[in-house]
């Protein structure tokens, strides 16, 4: 039964559709924004962090429109502005006036856009392997966005995501593959990132003058061996954002929160509580 899937949690109206989201813990809100890989859900991206952060913060983790188990609207064209408004609609529906943001990859670009458009709704930012600035598309990202469903292709992608391939377990491969072939999932995913996929990178890139004016304290995190989003992105963001600091994890690919879960949780907790 679909209801038994751990990816499916709460549902709430956000604009013209319902958003699937996780809501756990207590304390000052932290909103977790997932990446853009095939079969991604908030749960797949963040579930290892939930038990490590829920005693200190209220964790909100939505499936963004076009991904996961959030309601799909026929004919809807996904844009960064649309994802920004979905997030604000979700915060409004939950009566959350201000939140910390953690954005992974695509979610990092979304976090930047939220901080630019709604600075009063954001407390602090964590950008992890973030998009949000222009770069030549990597082989890894091109493979991610060009995914065609198969166990073999998903296994290849999870090895691209990780430095230590032991994290790309058979269970994780199976779970992400099964999510990617849910009814309507691959069709919407395929529509998000058509060729030439460099256009997708540029669509995620913010205006550098706006990024430069972001006033929030920002923690930038990146894996040194990231083959999906180049480490250079984080150096660019470090130079652009005035109140920024950068932490680089060695022996780490694109999934800091999975390969270095405890260290990432400790770093994030300390940053938010300071």
Contact 228, 129 (CB under 8 A): yes
Cβ-Cβ contacts under 8 Å for 274 (sequence gap 6 or more): none
Look at the block and give the residue holding tokens 């990816």. Answer: 7
Rounded (5°) CA angle 88-270-46: 50
Distance in angstroms (rounded) separating the CA atoms of residues 211 and 243: 11
* CA pseudo-torsion sign 109, 110, 114, 115: negative
- The gap between the terminal CA atoms of the chain, to the nearest Å, is 43
Catalytic residue among 216, 222, 254, 260: 254
Instruction: Record the tokens describing residue 80, joined without a space.
Output: 């960064």
Distance in angstroms (rounded) separating the CA atoms of residues 123 and 240: 18
* CA pseudo-torsion sign 96, 88, 43, 255: negative
153 in catalytic set: no
Measure Cα distances from 149 to 11, 76, 227 in Å: 27, 23, 21
Distance in angstroms (rounded) separating the CA atoms of residues 245 and 257: 18
CA 12 to chain centre: 20
Instruction: Record the tokens describing residue 184, joined without a space.
Output: 């309507």
Catalytic residue among 105, 113, 175, 234: 105
Catalytic residue among 22, 175, 226, 260: 226
Contact 67, 110 (CB under 8 A): no
Look at the block and give the residue holding tokens 């994290």. Answer: 167
Active site residues: 105, 226, 254
């Amino acid at each position: 039964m679909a209801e038994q899937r751990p990816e499916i949690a709460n549902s709430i109206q956000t604009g013209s559709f319902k958003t699937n989201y996780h809501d756990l813990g207590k304390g000052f809100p932290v909103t977790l924004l997932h990446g853009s890989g095939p079969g991604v859900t908030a749960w797949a991206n963040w579930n290892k962090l939930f038990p490590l952060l829920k005693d200190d913060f209220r964790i909100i983790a939505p499936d963004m429109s076009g991904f996961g188990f959030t309601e799909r609207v026929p004919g809807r064209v996904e844009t960064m502005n649309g994802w920004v408004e979905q997030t604000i609609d979700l915060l409004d529906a939950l009566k959350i006036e201000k939140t910390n943001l953690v954005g992974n990859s695509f979610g990092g670009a979304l976090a930047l856009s939220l901080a630019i458009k709604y600075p009063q709704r954001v407390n602090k930012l964590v950008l992890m392997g973030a998009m949000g600035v222009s770069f030549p598309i990597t082989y890894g990202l091109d493979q991610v966005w060009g995914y065609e469903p198969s166990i073999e292709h998903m296994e290849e992608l999870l090895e691209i995501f990780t430095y230590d391939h032991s994290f790309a377990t058979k269970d994780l491969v199976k779970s992400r593959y099964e999510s990617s072939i849910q009814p309507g999932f691959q069709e919407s995913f395929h529509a998000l990132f058509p060729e030439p996929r460099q256009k997708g990178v540029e669509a995620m890139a913010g205006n550098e003058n706006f990024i430069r004016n972001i006033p929030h304290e920002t923690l930038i995190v990146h894996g040194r061996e990231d083959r999906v989003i180049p480490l250079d992105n984080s150096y660019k963001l470090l130079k652009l954002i005035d109140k920024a600091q950068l932490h680089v994890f060695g022996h780490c690919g694109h999934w800091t929160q999975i390969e270095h879960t405890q260290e990432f949780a400790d770093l994030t907790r300390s940053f938010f509580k300071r």
